Amino acid sequence: MNLHPEECDQFYRIWFSLLGYANKREGLISNFPKTPLIGSIKQQDAGIIRNAIWSSDYLLSSFVSDNPDNLSIDDIRMASSWEGRINSRFMIIKHLKQHSIFMDVSENGKVYGVKGIISPISAILPFPLPIMVDAVLLPFGDKIIIDSLLIPHNVIFGQGIVNDIKVQFRRLEESQGIIINLNDNDPSPAIIKGNKKILSEFQKWLGRQSLSLKMQHEHFSNIEILVRDILNVAPVQSLSQLSAESVSRYLLLSSKTNKVSVKRLVKFLMDTDRLDFDELSSIENVLKK
């Protein structure tokens, strides 16, 4: 859940150089240490400089160009990759073995698997989940890390809000996957994996609908074909974002019986909060034709 020692060394070598450079350029903190060490910079001071750095790409680009401390090519390339940072407000949803789950709460937000630097995120914020934080996520090779600072919000969520957060997280996880590498922009494998998970939940749901095993198998097989031949073909689409257009394409290839299977699917998606009401109306119009 955190970086290896040599990765920690690389991060802080770049980070301290960047902080010192930005502070000197902007004249922000008068007593900034000439040779920073871990724990030698006040968090408030680091926050002031950090906010200046991430307010635009100007300071980072200048740092990469000037390389004031003669960092290695690998270090400078790593610093340059930080132009792809995510600066936002997040909900920390859970802590897993490999990373902590950060859900971006901004519009069109995504879900990220984030590692700590020296310590796991769970050790930095040992509080009941979910936790709302302001953070900057950085690409670090094939990993995602924080920029060393987390700003938690002192908010306690009621059970209703917690349930809404869980539903939103599930939707994002199933429709987009958990992003663990900011340098990999292809969501297709994660969406296909999410579709497999939703299909499994659909199969369980069918088993609770007082249907014969034959009908359960028929409905499930029909929807497997919908996923395989329509949704999992580029551009890949999540079952949790089922559209009237996809349903129309599927029904053109299928028999009348398959329309009943789609109706079962739609009911399952609605029962499990996986389908928006706006899209429901459009799909129902297609099924009436």
pLDDT tens-place string over residues 190-245: 899 999 999 999 999 999 999 999 999 999 999 999 999 999 998 899 998 899 99
Q: Which residues in the chain land under pLDDT 50?
A: none
* pLDDT of amino acid 58: 94
- Give helix 277-288 / helix 244-252 axis angle, nearest 10°: 30
Q: What is the pTM of this model?
A: 0.85
What's the confidence (pLDDT) of residue 278? 83
Residue 256 confidence (pLDDT): 59
